[in-house]
Amino acid sequence: MLESLSSLACKATGLAREHGDVIGRGPGTVGGMIGGRTEHVRQYEHRTKFRANREEPPAVSEERNGPRWGRWLAVGLLAAAGWGVIRGGGHSGTATSAASPSAAASAASATPASPATSATPSAPSAPSGHYDPADYAAPVRDHAAQAGISPQLLMAILYNESYKPHDPELERAWQRSKPDASFGIANMHRAAFDDTKQGRDFASRRWEELPDDRNLAVQAAAWHLRDLADQLPAKPATTLTRDELLALGYNTGAGNMLAFARGAKPGSQAQSYLDRLHDNWQKSGAAVK
């Protein structure tokens, strides 16, 4: 078992090197440079071996403003292996060809949903191993309608935020070493959740519940998008669509969203998030039909 983890560590190191030193961050963050990936993976492998012997949660860390996808790629492979041996959990995802939200919306509506992306009759609210955002199409449609936002946009946000394993215990282990980490399948930070829940029917719920209650995570994300939409000017001075601006607001914050609405050009990390939104747009539309 330890030899298998060591092999995965080597593969993860190779992937991290292959993608270079400039790597992206998660929602609400600004990208940067990191180094020492090889040492990071060695340290993580050592901690994972220690956990396999002691059955203690792995010690993980997160950059100040959010996780970087290159590090998540390495950590995700190791975490999936360690947790798979100990708990049997997992996560996988797919990507589609790029298409802008405005251009792909009509194509998505004309394309019937495939069995793989069809909504289940009743999506599980509690985590149950494998995670596919399309399994939560029903609550996405319901909460999007209540919040008055696009269900396709909300589903695309969930796909964008599925870059890391959404295992409750792994998220809590990460948060113990980085208190400002995000929680739940929509990767919501504590401050955003606490602001969003005010005056809503989930006002009594706590941010710490997000990893265990995916329906709550979808509901909070829907109303956070609504709050962002309420701040947009009636006629933004940009070629970006309203849904693109809301996605950037979800990722970078309301202040940056308003700057983009005034004509500011998204930086490399914000543009990367927007590119992934385009990649996920068509299958998101098919999922919520």
What span, in angstroms and rounded, lies between the C-alpha atoms of 117 and 132?
A: 9
- Evaluate whether 21 touches 34 at the Cβ level (below 8 Å): yes
Collapsed DSSP state (helix, strand, coil) of residue 104: helix
CATH code 1.10.530.10 region(s) in the chain: 101-165+177-287
pLDDT of the residue at 175: 86
pLDDT at 124: 53
pLDDT tens track, the chain, 289 positions: 444 444 444 444 444 444 443 333 444 443 333 344 444 434 444 444 444 444 433 333 333 344 444 454 444 544 444 444 333 333 333 333 334 454 444 444 444 343 333 333 345 555 656 789 999 999 999 999 999 999 999 999 999 999 888 888 888 888 888 888 899 999 999 999 999 999 999 999 999 999 999 999 999 999 999 999 999 999 999 999 999 999 999 999 999 999 999 999 999 999 999 999 999 999 999 999 9
101-165+177-287: CATH number: 1.10.530.10
- Predicted confidence at residue 130, as pLDDT, reads 78
C-alpha torsion angle, residues 186, 191, 192, 196 (rounded to 10): 120
Helices 168-177 and 69-86, packing angle to 10 deg? 130
Output the pTM of the full model. 0.59
The per-residue pLDDT for 154 is: 98
Residue 274 C-beta-side C-alpha neighbours within 13 Å:
21
Residue 207 pLDDT: 95
Specify the pLDDT at position 139. Answer: 97
- Interhelix angle 242-252/214-231, nearest 10 degrees: 120
pLDDT at 15: 40
Cβ atoms of 76 and 188 within 8 Å: the answer is no
Residue 134 tokens, joined: 């399309």
How far is it, in rounded angstroms, from Cα 165 to Cα 83? 11
